Amino acid sequence: MSKWIEVVELYKIPVLGSRLIKTRDMDIAVFRASDDRVFAVHDACPHRGGPLSQGIVHGHTVTCPLHNWKIDLYSGNALAPDHGCTNVFPVKVEDGKVYLQLVGENEEAAC
Amino acid sequence: MLKENLVLIGNGMAGVRTLEELLKLAPDAYNITVFGEEPYGNYNRIMLSPVLASEKTIEQIMLNSEQWYIDNGITLHKGKKVGQINRARREVIASDGTVAKYDRLIIATGSLSFMLPLPGADKQGVIGFRDIKDVDTMLEAARNHQHSVVIGGGLLGLEAANGLMKQGMDVTVVHLLDTLMERQLDKPAATMLQKSLEERGMKFLMEHSTAEILGNERVTGLRFKNGTEIPADLVVMAVGIKPNIELGKAAGLHCERGIVVNDTLQTITDPRIYAIGECVQHRGIAYGLVAPLFEQAKVAANHLAKYGIARYTGTVTSTRLKVTGIELFSAGDFVGDDKTEDLVFQDVASGTYKRLVVQDNKIKGAVMYGDTVDGSWYFQMMRDGTDISALRKIILFGQHHLGDSGHNPDTHVASLPDSAEICGCNGVCKGDIVKAITEKKLFTLDEVRAHTKASASCGSCTGLVESLLAHTVGGEYSATPKTKPLCKCTDYTHDEIRAGILKYDLKTMQAVRDHFEWKTVDGCPTCRNALNYYLLCAFPTEYVDDAQSRYINERAHGNIQKDGSYSVVPRMFGGMCTSDQLRAIADVADKYEVPTMKVTGGQRIDMFGIKKEQLPAMWKDLSAAGFVSGHAYGKAMRTVKTCVGSEWCRFGTQDSTGLGVKLEELTWGSWMPHKFKLAVSGCPRNCAEATIKDIGVVCVDSGYELHIGGNGGIKVRVTDLLCKVATEEEVLEYTGAFCQFYREDAHYLERTAPWVERVGLEKIKHAVVDCAKQRKALYERFLISQQPAQIDPWKARAEGAEANEFIPILIEA
């Protein structure tokens, strides 16, 4: 199990907005919903790899900026009628700070 | 809380559609029980004619399988007729003794064929045309008998006659009047229809009234009042339908022609009981077509879900005849009176007839025969009350004559091969769309968009997709709702919401959503962006722009490209530049290693491949050289294109570049419903292509022509001439006023071209040209809104605004 990494203070993510996190291997988008729930997904739409971090957040969904696919932030699944899935990462908020768990390639959640 | 019990009597299209709408809104609100008299699931009754003509099978017209009822937890009693409603005990009792308790009840018992009370009407082989049983009887008769007679030359009668003819029977249609389909057609169209059907072998006895049906046990013939007789082995009565109100009447509900309901489809006698569909009488009208049923279903479902915000106010209906090979369309008041005028196109040889009934430059009704492709277009304008004065000369030639050069001029969708590409953006062919419509049983444009993506991008093929939908599932479905809600989060339209923002002084997005009872917590990308714009337009000095309710391009002030990088376009006023400015752009391009540069169509320089985190630094350098954002990424004023004008050109009549710069200085930074482009040409040779811009100024010797509503995009549209003015000052004032009128009146994401076509040129002329007081007020409001808008977003961000938007978080892992 990977460790929890502190990535950003919650207030630095706009409500209904996102921040882009760059790791050595990939880009991860961290979203903040209007109920202050936080989500982290691989910053690539299953359709054509569009940067989801640049999309519009509504409910617990983000709409990709390139072709308007809607991605469920809990599961990373594209909403019907589209099909596809992007990786989600465990994330938690403690004392106003956002922590992220990077799941290694071998432990990658199956889509 | 215990779930309430909802009982539906009538397993037909109207009732089940109500359940579908209800399940979408409140899936867990009720325990649902359905009683259906027929031993089937729910089927598409209007497609019985194609079944009779062997063009479709029963399976193909089933709408909801029995599995659907199981999946949605609905108890289905099929083949059980409800005999009694006990309102005191709130229960319904079926003829087999089944009892179901209700808290709320929907009556959707539909209608019955009206059977003429003729002597002999009870003989074997005399039927109506209403359900699968009738179709079976007709198919059976076609196998064993030869002569059939259809009484009634209306829509249903002709469809029945066509089907019987297809089954090989000898068919005679008996009609009381001298005109077929007199409720939908005028004399010329009816004559063309009759001729065409006669060529196919159908026989007609016009102005014949039946006296008696002959035969012993089974029918053998008909005798008319004039004494003549004809043989018949099958008689189909298609003289009309009557609302099936027996049950409602017995339950003590107030009935006239139908069960009388209010605007929420509740019976006026008992608010726990709703009635819907063909058994209903609403504001004095009993409908017999499918489009009204769907609108009623939506309203009733909304009320059952306890939202209570929808009202049914009646439907304008249109008709198409479902006889393969015969194209016929009718809508509204096609007869006219002494206040109306007719626009007529008639070409008997090619079998084309179009007639529009017009009053005060608005379409009141339409009849079309032969070429009905534009039926939906006329119908739309009729429902919207569009002013057609600017279209009168060409309207009869159809919509594609308006300059749809970007698309297939052959809008006869029926004749296109399956491989024909309908949606160029998403590469969707006709075959894909038809397949999705039939296999997935799609009914609405939205559903087709969701499943196929056709017309989901630029929307220019919407008309084609709609006609394809109409053609595939039957004409009635072409009718999109009379008023389209802003998005799926609300039932209110753009116009209602904009008016509400001003009337109730709703100054935040949350206030709008609360007031209009939004169905979602924080909206969707469609409504958030629209509301953000509407509020900004209504309260330019007070409203705080919400970055999270803007498309990424407007949030990042650059155009996102397919690899996630951005493009940067500095503003060059009127397309003018100096060597110093070009040198500064070249220096920036070198410093940031810009991989691609290009001159844009709007006479500016575009730098591609910029990473988001580089943007603020690059803007800082451009800002230092005197550049501001070109807003090439926004639903905003983009560019003013100019030709060189009288300063150098030997033909130039006025200083077009100087005027272009002044116009751009006036309008830059303005947020608009959609992108907005201007141009100034120095003479009528029009080198700046001003007549395909949102505003085009064409200089002439005596002054300036102002043209509006042009578009060079998906669908080319040439501008309309707004007016001619004498001075540059007037050009600026009229331009500002026009911009503001568009900003305040158009729907979000509606460009000037479709807006002008929707609201009509006259309305715009009145506000901007004829009424000086209104023009000055508009111009004043435009200037006020420009004060906060003309703060350069690039400079602000280069100085640190919205830094989090541009800086990624780096982590070592």
- Closest alpha carbon to A45 in B458, B529, B560: B560
**What does pTM read for this prediction?**
0.60
Residue B133 and residue B192 in one domain: yes
The total number of structural domains that make up chain A: 1
Residue B145 and residue B40 in one domain: no
Residue B7 CA: distances (Å) to CA of B16, B99, B102, B106, B373: 11, 11, 6, 6, 41
Q: What is the pLDDT of residue B27?
A: 87
Domain boundary pick from B223, B239, B255:
B239
Q: What is the pLDDT of residue B549?
A: 94
Residue type, position A7, single letter:
V
Q: Is B450 on the interface with A (CB under 8 A)?
A: yes
What angle is formed at CA B68 by the lines to CA B67 and CA B71, rounded to 5 degrees? 85
DSSP code of residue B138: H
Residues A18 and A30: beta-carbon distance below 8 Å: yes
pLDDT digits 0-9 by tens, A56-99: 999 999 999 988 899 999 999 999 788 899 999 999 999 999 99
pLDDT digits 0-9 by tens, B661-684: 999 999 999 999 999 999 999 999
> Would B427 be classed as within a structural domain?
no
> Would B592 be classed as within a structural domain?
yes
Residue type, position A70, single letter:
K
Q: Is B439 on the interface with A (CB under 8 A)?
A: no
Residues B519 and B308: beta-carbon distance below 8 Å: no
Are the Cβ atoms of A14 and B804 closer than 8 angstroms? yes
Q: Is B560 on the interface with A (CB under 8 A)?
A: yes
**What CA–CA distance (Å, rounded) separates B534 from B502?**
10
CATH number at residue B194: 3.50.50.60
> Would A99 be classed as within a structural domain?
no
Domain boundary pick from B604, B629, B654:
B629
Beta carbons within 8 Å of B699's beta carbon, 6+ residues apart: B645, B646, B652, B653, B654, B656, B659, B680, B681, B682, B683, B705
> Would A102 be classed as within a structural domain?
no
- Find the CB nearest A5 among B451, B521, B813: B813
> Would A103 be classed as within a structural domain?
no
Q: Is B163 on the interface with A (CB under 8 A)?
A: no
> Would A52 be classed as within a structural domain?
yes
Shortest Cα distance, chain A CAs vs residue B674, angstroms: 17
Scanning B540-559 for CB atoms below 8 A from A yields 547-549, 551-552, 555-556
**CB count in 10 Å sphere of residue B284:** 10
> Would A100 be classed as within a structural domain?
no
Residue of A11, A56, A61, A97 to mutate when probing chain B, most B C-beta within 10 A: A56
**B126 is written with which tokens?**
């005399």
- Find the CB nearest A58 among B525, B547, B552: B525
> Would B653 be classed as within a structural domain?
yes
* Tokens 């917590």 -> residue: B521
Residue B12 and residue B72 in one domain: yes
- Find the CB nearest B809 among A7, A35, A54: A7
Residue of B809, B810, B812 to mutate when probing chain A, most A C-beta within 10 A: B809
- Closest alpha carbon to B435 in B462, B469, B458, B476: B469
Are the Cβ atoms of A55 and B552 closer than 8 angstroms? yes
> Would B400 be classed as within a structural domain?
no
Residue B154 and residue B230 in one domain: yes
Residues A40 and A29: beta-carbon distance below 8 Å: yes
**How high does pLDDT run on average in chain B?**
89
Q: Is A90 on the interface with B (CB under 8 A)?
A: no
Q: What is the pLDDT of residue B406?
A: 36
Scanning A49-78 for CB atoms below 8 A from B yields 50-51, 54-59, 63, 65-68
For range B777-799, the mean pLDDT: 95
Residue B749 and residue B704 in one domain: yes
Beta carbons within 8 Å of B143's beta carbon, 6+ residues apart: none
CATH number at residue B755: 3.30.413.10
Coil vs helix vs strand at B799? coil
Residues B354 and B344: beta-carbon distance below 8 Å: yes
CATH number at residue B581: 3.90.480.10
Residues B581 and B574: beta-carbon distance below 8 Å: no
pLDDT digits 0-9 by tens, B14-69: 999 999 989 988 888 999 999 999 887 788 887 888 888 888 888 888 888 888 99
| Burial class (CB within 10 angstroms; exposed 0-12, middle 13-18, buried 19+) of B431 | middle
> Would A77 be classed as within a structural domain?
yes
pLDDT at A105 over 60: no
CATH number at residue A50: 2.102.10.10
Q: What is the pLDDT of residue A108?
A: 47
Domain coverage including residue A64: 4-93
Beta carbons within 8 Å of B732's beta carbon, 6+ residues apart: B662, B663, B666
User: B762 or B445: which carries more pLDDT confidence?
Assistant: B762
User: B376 or B90: which carries more pLDDT confidence?
Assistant: B90
Residue B643 and residue B763 in one domain: yes
- Closest alpha carbon to B731 in B644, B669, B667: B667
Question: Which residue on chain B is closest to A55 by alpha carbon?
Answer: B552
Q: What is the pLDDT of residue B503?
A: 93
pLDDT at B104 over 80: yes
Residues B288 and B280: beta-carbon distance below 8 Å: no
User: Which residues on A lie below 8 Å from B520 (Cβ)?
Assistant: 58-59
- ipTM summary value: 0.88
> Would B399 be classed as within a structural domain?
no
pLDDT at B811 over 50: yes
Phi, psi of B661 (to 5 degrees): -65, -45
**B723 is written with which tokens?**
């007016």
Shortest Cα distance, chain B CAs vs residue A111, angstroms: 22
Are the Cβ atoms of B804 and A12 closer than 8 angstroms? yes
Shortest Cα distance, chain B CAs vs residue A7, angstroms: 7
Q: What is the pLDDT of residue B412?
A: 59
Angle, helix B13-25 to helix B290-304, in steps of 10 degrees: 40
> Would B361 be classed as within a structural domain?
no
Domain boundary pick from B221, B239, B257:
B239
- What is the dihedral angle through the alpha carbons of B611, B616, B622, B628, rounded to the nearest 10 degrees? 110
- Find the CB nearest A66 among B522, B562, B810: B562
Shortest Cα distance, chain A CAs vs residue B618, angstroms: 20
Are the Cβ atoms of B564 and A50 closer than 8 angstroms? yes
Q: Indicate the helix (H) or strand (E) that contains B697.
A: strand B695-700
Question: Which residue on chain A is closest to B519 by alpha carbon?
Answer: A59
Q: Is B801 on the interface with A (CB under 8 A)?
A: no
Residue B597 and residue B710 in one domain: no
* Tokens 């100096």 -> residue: B578
Scanning A9-38 for CB atoms below 8 A from B yields 12-17, 19-24, 27, 34-35
The total number of structural domains that make up chain B: 5
For range A24-32, the mean pLDDT: 93
Domain coverage including residue B614: 556-629
Q: How is B242-292 classified by DSSP, letter by letter?
A: EE--HHHHHTT--BSSSEEE-TTSBBSS-TTEEE-GGGEEETTB---SHHH
User: Which residues on A lie below 8 Å from B459 (Cβ)?
Assistant: none
pLDDT digits 0-9 by tens, B379-425: 878 887 888 888 888 888 876 654 433 333 334 576 677 877 777 77
Residue B675 and residue B718 in one domain: yes
Q: Indicate the helix (H) or strand (E) that contains B538.
A: helix B525-538
> Would A107 be classed as within a structural domain?
no
> Would A64 be classed as within a structural domain?
yes
Residue B26 and residue B91 in one domain: yes
Q: What is the pLDDT of residue B813?
A: 66
Residues A15 and A40: beta-carbon distance below 8 Å: no
Tell me how many residue pairs between chain A and chain B have CB atoms under 8 A apart: 79
3-state helix, strand, coil in chain A (%, to 5): 10, 40, 50
Residue B595 and residue B502 in one domain: no
* Tokens 């602000």 -> residue: B796
